[in-house]
Amino acid sequence: MPILAANRIKKAFGAETVLTDVTFQLQPGERVGLVGPNGAGKTTLLRILTGQEGPDGGVFTLARGTTMGYLVQSAHVEVEGTMEQELRRAFSKLERMAVELKLFEEKLAAAEKNACSLPGLLDSYGSLRHAYEEAGGYHTESRLRSVAVGLGFDLHDMSREVFGFSGGERTRLRLARLLLEQPDLLLLDEPTNHLDTASVEWLEGFLREWRGSALIVSHDRYFLDRVANRILALDEGEIKSYPGNYSAYNVQKELETVSLQKAYKKQQAIIEKEADLIRTAGTGEREKRQAKSREKRLAKVGITQKPRSEDSIGLDFGYCGRSGEIVASLENVSKSFDKTTLFEGVNAELRFGDRVALVGPNGAGKTTLLRIIAKEILPDKGYVRLGLSVRITYFDQHQGALTQEKTPLEEIMDASQMTLTEARSYLGRFLFSGDDVFKRNEDLSGGERSRLALAKLGLDAGNFLILDEPTNHLDIRSVEELENSILEFPGTLLVVSHDRYFIGRIASKILDVSGGQVTLYKMSYDDYLLERERRSFAHSHLPDREKKRVQAEKERLERGKMLSLRRERRNLERQLQETEEQITVAESSVNSLEEELADPLVFNNFILARDKAGQLQDIKRKLDDLYVKWEKLCSELEEMQEVD
């Protein structure tokens, strides 16, 4: 039985019809990606399914008792208190059950004088404990920590007041609470927005293990590849289902388009042939009857609609000719902001034809390094040398090249020698039509600004293309056209992007910026991910003697003042590991004692049951102390890492 069924959903806003006949089902355990061009109605559909928007026609139903959680693109969380308090609200039902369990345990421990009431208490206690365990009640602390850290928060954030959070932090907080609430059905609208790559990878793993259902709107094709097991494509107000992930959908869609084009061409050829025979028919009675018969057959032919070409940008990067072999060389480049060192002593070399993607966590300095290479800012130390005949074409993710007060038409005409007609035609290639060209740039949407910035970039001719987050605000079709344009560009490429699918298509080398270091990997993005995983695995499985040797060598190369900090950090890590092991043992003891208390052989023995209940309370007190110690050690370790 489907967990959700939508039947012929319709929706219009004024004269604009968004949804015309949307019908689909979601089965329990499915993770479905919802894709379509910007403006197709994806968010509108989610709002209808959550009751925030009413349909003009059609119905949808949820299976009885289904709980639903909805993440909007910009979650304006209006709550009081700290982040931890907000996240713990996800456990409100479990906390009430925990209070009831504690009351039962106190009653069991005090039931010495009224042994006849013990069996009834134990029955009720056993039922409640089983329900609590099934709902994950014994793992709330580890779940809370795992989700918070996985989505990029730290222990310091847990004590911060939510009112001081940025928009991106509020969206991540809303997502964290939804994941902790564990609804039967998750509706996620662009869940990877505001997440760095590490957090997106964590979310992918979480959702793959998700036992509930999920309907996910996302422009992140890599994310959909790793999470979705079915794709719903929404376009022209209708929806179509494709089995498999995004890549499988892409192949099916391409084959479908080719098949439709062939069918259309075949039918057009038949129609043209029949029409020609009718036109050239003779004047005799027999010829007239044949022509009449052909006309009737032709009238009965079901006309195959001409396949609609999807709207997409028409970008062509201008190329000014070959540069020298060495395009850019970095020598001992360092940069700091507000006493925080982003990177130091960077030495790297880019050669003609290289296609390099800068990757790394948020705040590591990717865009800063890119801007240094683009000569937009200066390094604190070292220098960047550009090679012979290098001409840079630079895309700024903040569209700094656009003038707010201008219109798209003025922007293009002022940057070129185009006439008004030529400029309008050129803007049409970037999906600007009608009065769109007369809007002020400051009134454009994010997607429109990105397309205009790319249109202006296409007017330049260079041989070193430097792009900072060029896929932001673009729909999937436009990103694919951008990829094709980059692949056709014969020069050198340097790009920063969070779009891993995009990086996988266009990059042949990876420049990793993390931990204050910059490392060049001469391989594809997929191979880089495998290499990173291999190195992490190898390091984690080094023998203790080898780990100590590697650590000692690392310390020898670092400044002397850092040695004591690193020794202290190792001590904290050891204490943290020991504490985690003690927590595991204590949690296991709690589970064992609770299972024993549910055993008829125990709860029918008054003295034994009382002793077990007392032991359970003692271990739970010890467990609470261990949790406090764990948090203190984590906080100290985090402070140590910040100093380091």
d(CA 276, CA 291): 10
pLDDT band at 550 (very low <50, low <70, confident <90, very high): low
Higher pLDDT, 168 or 203: 203
In the predicted model, what is the mean pLDDT of residues 386-398?
91
What residues have CB less than 8 Å from 333, skipping those under 6 apart? 343, 345, 346, 347, 369, 372, 379, 381, 382, 383, 384
Can you give the pLDDT at residue 561? 37
Backbone angles phi, psi at 182, to 5 degrees: 55, 60
Which pLDDT band holds residue 302 (cuts at 50, 70, 90)? low
pLDDT at 423: 92
Tokens, residue 364: 């590591």
> Are 396 and 468 a contacting pair, CB within 8 Å?
yes
Q: How far apart are CA 61 and CA 83, in angstroms?
A: 34
What are the backbone dihedrals phi and psi of residue 13, each rounded to the nearest 5 degrees, phi first?
-120, 100
Listed ranges 111-120, 376-385, 425-434, 632-641; the one with the highest mean pLDDT? 376-385
Which of 609-613's residues contact partners 24+ apart within 8 Å by CB, and which partners? 609/108, 609/111, 609/118, 609/122, 610/108, 610/109, 610/111, 610/112, 613/105, 613/108, 613/109
Q: What is the pLDDT of residue 46?
A: 95
What is the rounded CA–CA span in Å between residue 227 and residue 195?
A: 16
DSSP string, 536-556: HHHHHTS-HHHHHHHHHHHHH
Whether 253 shows a pLDDT value over 80: the answer reads yes
Residue 129 structure tokens: 């404990």
pLDDT at residue 560, rounded to an integer: 44
* Helices (H), ranges, 50-154: 83-88, 92-109, 118-134, 140-150
**Can you tell me the mean pLDDT for 426-439?**
89
DSSP secondary structure code for residue 121 in this structure: H
Q: Which pLDDT score is estimated for 304?
A: 64
Q: Which strands, in side-by-side order, build the sheet including 509-514?
A: 392-395, 464-468, 492-496, 355-359, 509-514, 517-521
Indicate whether 384 pLDDT > 90: yes
Q: Is 582 helix (H, G, I), strand (E, B) or coil?
A: helix
Question: Which has the closest alpha carbon to 385: 359, 342, 347?
Answer: 347
Q: What is the pLDDT, as a whole number, of residue 551?
A: 56
Give the pLDDT of residue 613. 82
- In eight-state DSSP terms, residue 304 is P
Residue at token pair 């289902």:
241
Residue 12 CB: number of other CB atoms within 10 A? 13
pLDDT in tens, 588-620: 888 888 888 777 777 677 778 778 888 888 888
Tell whether the model's pLDDT for residue 196 goes beyond 50. yes
Q: Which residue has the higher pLDDT, 111 or 640?
A: 111
User: Cβ(387)–Cβ(323) under 8 Å?
Assistant: yes
> H or E segment at 344?
strand 340-351
Lowest mean pLDDT among 294-298, 435-439, 603-607: 294-298
In which element (H, E) is residue 216 found? strand 213-217
Cα torsion for 207, 197, 506, 246, to the nearest 10°? 10
Cα dihedral across residues 548, 549, 550, 554: positive or negative: positive
Question: In the predicted model, is pLDDT for residue 409 greater than 90?
Answer: yes
Q: Strand 340-351 to strand 464-468: parallel, antiparallel, or no bridges (unpaired)?
A: unpaired
pLDDT in tens, 67-107: 999 999 876 667 789 999 999 998 888 888 888 888 877 77
For residue 118 the two structure tokens come to 């013990």
| End-to-end Cα spacing for the chain | 55
Nearest CA to 395 out of 461, 448, 469, 447 is that of 469
pLDDT class of 397 with cuts at 50, 70, 90:
confident
Average pLDDT over the chain, rounded to whole? 85
- pLDDT of 520 above 60: yes
Q: Out of 15-29, 99-113, 214-228, 591-605, which region has the weakest mean confidence (pLDDT)?
A: 99-113
User: What is the C-alpha to C-alpha distance for residues 114 and 116, in angstroms, rounded to an integer?
Assistant: 6
Flag whether pLDDT at 524 surpasses 70: yes
d(CA 513, CA 362): 10
Query: 392-395 and 464-468: which strand pairing?
Result: parallel
Q: CA 526 to CA 533: how far, in whole Å?
A: 11
Q: Which residue has the higher pLDDT, 340 or 540?
A: 340
Pick the range with the lowest mean pLDDT from 230-234, 348-352, 581-585. 581-585
- Tell me what pLDDT residue 563 has: 46
Q: Which of 549, 609, 593 is nearest to 129 (CA)?
A: 593
Q: Which CATH number fits domain 318-535: 3.40.50.620, 3.50.50.60, 3.40.50.300, 3.90.1300.10?
A: 3.40.50.300
**What backbone torsions phi and psi does residue 57 show, to the nearest 5 degrees?**
-165, 165
* pLDDT > 80? residue 244: yes
Identify the CA nearest to 517 among candidates 338, 345, 331. 345
Collapsing DSSP to helix, strand or coil, 406 comes out as: coil
How far is the C-alpha of 464 from the C-alpha of 318, rounded, in Å?
A: 11
Distance from CA of residue 594 to its chain's centroid? 40
Q: Is the pLDDT of residue 60 over 50?
A: yes
- Give the pLDDT band of residue 227 (cuts 50, 70, 90): very high
Average pLDDT over residues 255-273: 81
Q: What percentage of the chain carries pLDDT values higher than 70?
A: 86
The 8-class DSSP code of residue 256 comes to H
Confidence band for 559, pLDDT divided at 50, 70 and 90 = very low
Higher pLDDT, residue 433 or 400: 433
Percent of the chain with pLDDT over 90: 45
What was the pLDDT predicted at 642?
Answer: 44
Phi first, then psi: what are they for 54, rounded to 5°? Answer: -90, 140
Q: What average pLDDT does this structure show over 193-220?
A: 92
The pLDDT score that the predictor gives to residue 282 is 62
Asked if the model's pLDDT at residue 558 lies above 50, the reply is: no
What residues does each domain of the chain span? 318-535
The contacts of residue 296 (CB under 8 Å, 6+ apart) are: none
Interhelix angle for 92-109 vs 118-134, to 10°?
150
Strand partners, 237: none
The number of angstroms, rounded, from the C-alpha of 497 to the middle of its chain's C-alpha atoms is 13
Q: In terms of C-beta density within 10 A (0-12 exposed, 13-18 middle, 19 or more buried), how is residue 452 classed?
A: buried
